[in-house]
Amino acid sequence: MAVEIQRDLADPERGVTLRNGASVRVRAIRPDDEPRLMALCRRLSPRTVYERFFSFRRLLPEEAHALANIDDRRRMAVVAEVDDGQEPELIGVARYGPSNEGTTADIGLVVADGWQGLGLGSLLLEEILRAGEQRGVHQFSADVLTENRRALRLLARYTAITRRAVASGVTSVVFGRRAHSALEATRHGSS
Ligand SMILES: CC(C)(COP(=O)(O)OP(=O)(O)OC[C@H]1O[C@@H](n2cnc3c(N)ncnc32)[C@H](O)[C@@H]1OP(=O)(O)O)[C@@H](O)C(=O)NCCC(=O)NCCS
């Protein structure tokens, strides 16, 4: 992991430098992100959309509205944003919301295609788990296509998985935040 954390993850907004040297802002989602969420989803490749939503559909305006307007203690989302001096652009989103199991929060994660493989997914994952813990959520779940090796590898590497089940090509995992995540280990220079 070559993500340089410039400020503590607990900060509401911070700058990070990715492996490609790009400066990215990571912050909690805001109501005015609604059009930026729609724009991000329009830019995603069909493969990324499919891996995120299990279909080739687009984000609906009402979904973007609900995602950007967190008015429920059971929901949270963080975004990664780049700003080239013009209109800021979202390049990744991690969210959690209610799952079928009462005490478990369901995680959703996506990074824009051109920004994948730079450490942003693991950073956003760590950030949303941390945000959950700060709000009393300690158990999370995610449904991932079984063929989606990179997402499963990400979860295996950066979370503490307690349950795993496979059905109809979908792997469902239940996990908590690692006490010392691989991300934090990297921050301190060990592996
Ligand atoms: C899954 C996803 C969020 C990962 O984001 P990312 O920014 O590429 O992730 P990172 O760069 O932090 O990589 C995290 C880990 O994923 C794995 N990984 C990343 N790219 C990979 C690739 N091309 N092939 C295999 N593994 C890969 C690695 O284990 C990596 O850890 P490491 O580089 O520290 O060894 C991103 O690929 C994505 O948006 N996919 C589509 C949506 C999705 O699948 N969401 C998950 C289900 S909700």
Residue 152, domain member (yes or no)? no
* Contact (Cβ atoms closer than 8 angstroms) between residue 112 and residue 40: yes
Q: pLDDT digit string (tens) for 109-119?
A: 999 999 999 99
Lowest-pLDDT choice from 26-30, 120-124, 181-185: 181-185
Contact residues for 189 (Cβ-Cβ < 8 A; gap 6+):
none
Query: Which residue, by CA, sits nearest to atom 10 of ligand 1?
Result: 119
CATH number of domain containing 101: 3.40.630.30
CA of 51 to the centre of ligand 1 (A): 11
Provide the phi-psi class of 80: left if phi over 0, else alpha when psi is between -120 and 50, else beta.
beta
Mean pLDDT confidence for 36-40 = 97
Q: How far is the CA of 156 from the centre of ligand 1 (A)?
A: 11
* Interval 163-190: pLDDT, tens: 999 999 999 999 999 876 556 554 443 3
pTM above 0.85, yes or no: yes
In terms of residue numbers, what domain contains 85? Answer: 4-138
Instruction: Please tell me which residue, 44 or 181, carries the higher pLDDT value.
Output: 44
Q: Would the CB of 16 count as within 6 Å of ligand 1?
A: no
The reply to whether ligand 1 has any atom less than 6 angstroms from the CB of 142 is: yes
Q: Is the CB of 106 under 6 A from ligand 1?
A: no
111 domain-assigned: yes
Q: Do 133 and 175 form a contact (C-beta atoms < 8 A)?
A: no
Average pLDDT over residues 59-75: 90
Mean pLDDT computed over 74-78: 93
pLDDT of residue 168: 97
Residue 89 lies in a domain: yes
- C-alpha closest to that of 156 among 171, 137, 138: 171
Residue 158 lies in a domain: no
Q: Is residue 3 lining ligand 1, measured as CB closer than 6 Å?
A: no
Can you give the pLDDT at residue 189?
Answer: 38
Identify the three-state secondary structure at position 155: helix
Q: What is the largest CA-CA distance in the chain?
A: 46
Please work out whether the CB of residue 24 comes within 6 Å of at least one atom of ligand 1.
no
The confidence score (pLDDT) of residue 156 equals 97
Atom 34 of ligand 1, nearest CA residue: 1
Q: Is the dihedral of CA 176, 179, 185, 190 positive or negative?
A: negative
Position 169 in a domain:
no
Rounded distance, CA 59 to CA 119, Å? 24
Assess if residue 156 is contained within a domain. Answer: no
Question: Is residue 80 within 6 Å of ligand 1 at its C-beta?
Answer: no
Q: How many domains does the chain have?
A: 1
Res 9: pLDDT: 44
> What's 82-124 look like in SS3?
ECCCCCCEEEEEEEEEECCCCCEEEEEEEECHHHCCCCHHHHH
- Specify if 66 maps to a domain: yes
The reply to whether 174 falls in a domain is no
CB 95 within 8 A of CB 125: no
